[in-house]
Amino acid sequence: MPWTERPLTARLGIELSGLTISAGLGEDDRKAIYDATARHGVALIRGQALSDEAIYDLATTIGDELVQIQFLKDAPPHARGVIPLRNIDAEGRLLPADDWNVQQNRANELWHTDLSFQRPRATLSMLYSRIIPPAGGDTEFCDTRLLWEAMSEDERTNLAGLNCTHWGFHSRRKFGFTDLPQEVLDRYPPIERPLVFEHLQSGRTALTIGGYVASVEGMDNARSEAFLDDLVARATVPENVYVHRWQVGDLLLWDNRCMIHRATPWDLTAHARDMRGVRLFDAAHP
């Protein structure tokens, strides 16, 4: 391997140093990056200078079958699937703080798993930083395998058979987005997933929890909400969390099959933040 590894915390995450992402990166190295991410939950590669094309090249060759395809007005065709996540327009001007896209992205401040509300589910996500604010705008990560491993056998037995309903707009509604068009709601109907998930890549067990989980089978709304909030609170104790403080040129990869994450707020009215995101899917394991 052309890099060295350093743990991000005592419990989760890995930094890969001495690595340059480029079209010349070999197949074995790309697989090793994927495997390191799955093993440690989140992987950091600093100091990169990546075009959308380079991000897309890595995403389409790193190990899973499909990259999310999104058709965006300001994305060139060769960068399809590379999603701008920002509070500026194409000319670099700050968007109004009440801009619809800016405001609905505030739901990312809740702990969540990317795209657990659709099939196939997201496996790895990537996020690359181009412009960062001077304060705030961090990303926090938690490995739910750690919560499972801290549970008693009795609790594991009680949780193992539970199913949960995931809905893409559950978290958005918590931020006041209750008037979405019916055609949008119909595109992403609620789906069920087991609460407990075997993470095949590491041989460990994870929990699928977070902001897209709307309810638990067999529980009324109040009990379900309290139950899910308790699991998230127990999972995200400080010793189980990695807080990433962004630098320009950082590339982060994480495994949604075992991780939950959230953004922290920053002053949207004064400072720009411009990131690029990609999500991968494994069509064989929806």
Mean pLDDT, rounded, of the chain: 89
Asked whether residue 59 is domain-assigned, the answer is: yes
Residue 279's closest CA among 63, 108, 167, 127? 127
Asked whether residue 125 is domain-assigned, the answer is: yes
Residue 74 has pLDDT above 70, yes or no: no
Residue the block writes with tokens 């703080």: 97
Reported pTM: 0.92
Structural domain span for residue 245: 4-281
Query: What pLDDT shows up at residue 75?
Result: 47
* 96: CB partners within 8 A, 6+ apart: 102
Query: What pLDDT shows up at residue 48?
Result: 96
Structural domain total, the chain:
1
- Residue ranges of E strands in 218-273: 241-244, 251-255, 259-263
Query: What pLDDT shows up at residue 106?
Result: 75
**What tens digit of pLDDT does each residue of 181-231 get?**
777 677 788 999 999 999 999 999 999 999 999 999 999 999 999 999 999
Query: What pLDDT shows up at residue 160?
Result: 95
Query: What pLDDT shows up at residue 71?
Result: 42
Query: What pLDDT shows up at residue 80?
Result: 66
Query: Is the model more confident about 175 or about 126?
Result: 126
Give CA–CA dist 15/254, Å, rounded: 12
Which CATH number covers residue 255? 3.60.130.10
Give the model's confidence band at 73: pLDDT under 50 very low, under 70 low, under 90 confident, else very high: very low
Query: What pLDDT shows up at residue 268?
Result: 86
Lowest mean pLDDT among 131-135, 152-156, 157-161, 170-174: 170-174
Most confident residue range from 7-16, 53-62, 161-170? 7-16
Residue 63's closest CA among 208, 242, 253? 253
Query: What pLDDT shows up at residue 100?
Result: 75
Average pLDDT over residues 44-50: 96
Asked whether residue 75 is domain-assigned, the answer is: yes
Query: Is the model more confident about 21 or about 3?
Result: 21
Enter the tokens of residue 156: 């594991």
Asked whether residue 286 is domain-assigned, the answer is: no
